[in-house]
Structure 1
Amino acid sequence: MKSAFSLATLSALALSASSALAAESLTDALKGGKFAGELKAYYFTQEKKKNSEDILAAGVMMNYVTDSFYGFKAGGTFQSSATPFADEASKQMFKNDMWAQGAQLSESYLSYTYDQTTLKGGRMFISTPLVAGSGSRLIRESFEGYSITNQNIPDTTLGLLYINKFQARTDKEGHIGKFNKYQDGAYSLYAINKSIPGLTLTAAWARIEKEGSASDLDIFYGEAVYKGKIADFGYDLSGQYWKNRYNSGDESSSSPSLYGLKAGASYSDFSAYAAYSKVSDYELTASGRNEQLVHGVGNGTDTIYTYSLIRSYSYYPNMEAWAFNLDYAFTPSLKAGFLYVDVDDDKTEVSYTGGYISYAFSGSLKGLTLSAQYDNEGKDGDGDSFRFRTIYKF
């Protein structure tokens, strides 16, 4: 199924309406555009099955967005990556996420805004509840498709998405991921409401149409986050819920679900939280497939409260996880913390013990940030991971 609108539709809508926010000429819109860039160098090490490898990746990201011209804006983002010192072993260890050479035009879009509604089409970075690209590696995930957002309802954002292509971090063969067809397309609707002071409510639905298969997938998501303060003491309470529905026509098809709870507190420069998550006791389908819980499209949708710093884990039946975090801001620029995660399911028990630190420079080096993370995998797991990032934004 193809999208109901296109870039041509955006043009027709724009030309049929006027906008008080337009630049006086196309030249003014181009000259008034904004340019931003990032220089990045990431060093990762990982121990897996007693094999320890490391990789250094460096690259640049450059972004440009025009000023508004009768409601129109155009934007583009260029990403590049190089891993000049990687040997064969490290290439294989990091082929899914860090081993990438070359450049990619990851954003190239046209948008049109009228009143409080924005239509956007092309290649773009997306960050919504059930469609979101991860930026935790040197190359950020991107999508190709169309979106509509509206904010006419007070304190509420409504969104509709259709994506038909996805750009991964790498192509697993040493290059940046290409914009490949994503199944038979994916759709998403979401609503975010903040009308009650301190409370944020999120509801979202996504549908992934499986190419050449009757097993289409619906994903449902809800979250409530409340943040409050009593004198100098801050607190937050959160709950999240995922539900999958596989439309395979098989009556025994599994419908896994997951819920998470989180309680946080802060005082002065200290903050902490405790979180719990539980996956339902779903079973195999009659065909023998283990249809595990899917959290959305793109790695940026894995927002479970019991995440670990570096290593990820699968959402197997009956999975239970606990997380405990404590961090401290030594100065507004220097922050450090500790995170412990314990995961138990029908197959294994794994723990993750990690620490993190970051420093943001000021003055003549403003825009430069250094950060480091360390994660140890214990119990049935065995391994260590370390990540160091240098990012300069200008």
Structure 2
Amino acid sequence: MKKTLLVAALLSATVSQSMAANDLESAFKESKVMGQFRAFYIDRDYDVANSKGDRSAFAIGGKFGFETAAVNGLKFGIMAYTTNGINANRESWRNNPPYNGNPHMDPSLFGKDRKSVTYIGQLYLDYKYQNTAVKIGRQEINTPMAGMDDARMLPNLFEGALITNKDIPKTTIIAGHFWNMAYGTFANAYSACSYLGLQSGYGCGGYTALNQGLAKYDTGNFLNMGKQAIGKANAGVSVIAAIYEGLPNLKLQAWDYYAWDMLNILYLQGDYTLKLSDVKTTLSAQYINETNVGNNIKNVFGKEVGANLFGAKVNFNIPMPVVENFNLYAAYSQTGKDEGKLLNGGLITPWGGTPGFVQGTVTRLSYVADTSAWKVGTSFDIIKGLNLHLAYSYFNVGSKAVYSNRTHDASETNWDLTWKCRLIKNLELKARGIYTWNFVPGQNFTEYRLIANYNF
């Protein structure tokens, strides 16, 4: 907290100096209050090795803050994030959930040790000049291999600098460097520094030993990027990207992440849209490659990183006489294998970046080594404002998947029902059902979620 207050003071002083020559008073008078109120209920029932278990939780919170009006292109913003348990049954929690028959509290809606938490998650200066934007400080980012992963109460957040430029026609150039990040509440669903967690969007959270157990992540605490990833500090992560849309119906993007003394991640994606009769069709391809940099990963885990993934997807937007926005899609991905590399050649995704075309609502097995995966789904509006999404994902996990050490098949079936209420502007209600089979060998579960988001 002392560090947060110091950063806030420095940023406020910078804003004052930058705006004083113009109209600081009007900048604050015209500032806008913004945020999101969120209520989240989750309930999961397990079937593990012929024994039953369950966990559930209900929380309210969200994000609340303000942003000043721009003076000479410069704005200042601050945002607090909070999650608070409602009727949380902490006494029923066991050390190794869900492997017991007692109801217990789901950790993925809360902070460390399943506690309510409030913190300053955004604190930034935002400057725009012509076609260039610069944002410095704590902020939300969504990029392929580092992002918010806003799947539970509070998202991942990052501290650094990001520059976006659009001087070149039909081209966006992005460059940045991030030195710290704070995990959101979803991290607490994983064991800190576990093999599965490393391949599902979360790293070690400051630890260096594997499998620290549930709820070891310090939600909202901004730690060094390397320390969050593998428990060993580094100089942060530098990113550069280009997004090109200069050819008709084609979008190309290339991202390169250089995690100092750790690894380099290359992400490529292309999307081509055409019309087949009256059907809008989008063909997409993606490639992820991870190569080792320095000795940090080998010093911690004993092996260097080295991995790749290929993915393809097709989406059909089909005009229908009864329902609107009818989409039908299919996707496929394949990872490599290399026993001489970390996780036998599986990807690590420690900063919330999980861009794979084949990904269930919960199941993220497409990043493990020696795995082929496919997914089919559809979405459509039942009535205006009420959308239904149905999907089925299947994973053929090879024997080189370190977290299981054997070949197995897994699947996830899920539905999402989203209602954007026309009577109350900016209110969104969502219900989800998730049914997994063999998520890890011998483990099945059914999960339901109810989510309310009100943006202001």
Scaled by the length of structure 2, the TM-score of the pair is 0.75
Higher helix share: 2
Q: Do residues 178 (structure 1) and 221 (structure 2) align?
A: yes
1:339-366 alpha-carbon deviations (Å, 9 max, x no partner): 0000012132101111111111113x12
1:242/1:97 CA distance change after superposition, 3 Å: farther
Q: Does 1:374 align with 2:433?
A: yes
- Determine helix, strand or coil for the equivalent of 1:240: strand
**1:31–1:197: structure 2 CA closer, same or farther, 3 Å change rule?**
farther
Cα separation, 2, equivalents of 1:332 and 1:228? 26
CA distance in 2, matches of 1:134, 1:91: 27
> For each residue in 1:253-277, what CA deviation from the matched residue of structure 2 results, as whole angstroms up to 9, or x when unmatched?
4521001100110212221100000
Q: Which amino acid aligns with 1:95?
A: P
Deviation at 1:102, TM superposition (A): 2.3
Q: Which residue of 2 aligns with 1:4?
A: none
Aligned equivalent of 1:292: 346
Match of 2:409 in 1: 349
Q: 1:277 to 1:100 in 2, by over 3 A?
A: farther
Task: Give the secondary-structure state (helix, strand or coil) at the position aligned to 2:184.
Answer: coil
Report the alpha carbon displacement of residue 142 of structure 1 after superposing the two structures with TM: 0.4
2-side partners of 1:355 and 1:96: how far apart?
Answer: 20
Name which of structure 1's ranges 376-385 and 108-117 shifts more when overlaid on structure 2. 376-385
Further displaced range: 83-92 or 177-186: 83-92
* 1:334 maps to 2:394: no
- Give the distance between the partners of 2:369 and 2:165, measured in 1 at CA: 38
Return the offset for 1:134.
Answer: 1.5
Q: CA deviation at 1:123?
A: 0.6
Q: Which residue of 2 aligns with 1:118?
A: 133
> Given the alignment of the two structures, is residue 188 of structure 1 paired with residue 239 of structure 2, yes or no?
yes
Alignment of 1:316-331 (within 5 A): 316-331=368-383
Identify which of 267, 276, 281 aligns with 1:235.
Answer: 281
Does structure 2 retain, via aligned residues, the 8 Å contact 1:95–1:174?
Answer: no
1:66 is matched with 68
Structure-1 residue corresponding to 2:101:
none
Unaligned runs of 5+ in 1: 1-6, 211-215
Structure 1 residue 291, shift from structure 2 partner: 5.7
- 2: CA distance between counterparts of 1:26 and 1:195? 40
1:115-264 superposed matches below 5 A: 115-170=130-185, 172=215, 176-183=219-226, 184=234, 185-210=236-261, 216-230=262-276, 232-247=278-293, 253=304, 255-264=306-315
CA deviations on 1:272-312 (whole Å, 9 max, x unpaired) are 10000000122234xx76463124x522x201111102333
Quickly say closer, same or farther: Cα 1:41–1:304, change in 2 above 3 A.
same
Alignment of 1:83-98 (within 5 A): 83-88=85-90, 89=92, 94-96=106-108, 98=110
Is 384-393 or 174-183 further displaced after alignment?
Answer: 174-183
The number of residues matched between the two structures is: 371
**Conserved 8 A contact 2:373-2:394:** yes
Where is the strand percentage greater, Structure 1 or Structure 2? 1
CA RMSD in angstroms, aligned pairs only: 2.8
Counterparts in 2 of 1:137 and 1:58: CA distance versus 1, 3 Å: same
Unaligned runs of 5+ in 2: 1-9, 98-105, 189-214, 227-233, 399-405
SS of aligned partner of 1:67: coil
SS of the counterpart of 1:28? helix
Separation in 2 of the partners of 1:342 and 1:23? 60
Give the CA deviation at 1:246: 1.4
Identify the range of structure 1 (346-355 vs 87-96) with the bigger mean alpha-carbon deviation.
Answer: 87-96
Q: Distance in 1 between matches of 2:132 and 2:93?
A: 46
CA distance in 2 between partners of 1:253 and 1:293 (Å):
12
Letter in 1 for 2:142: S
Contact 2:335 2:367 in 1 (8 A): yes
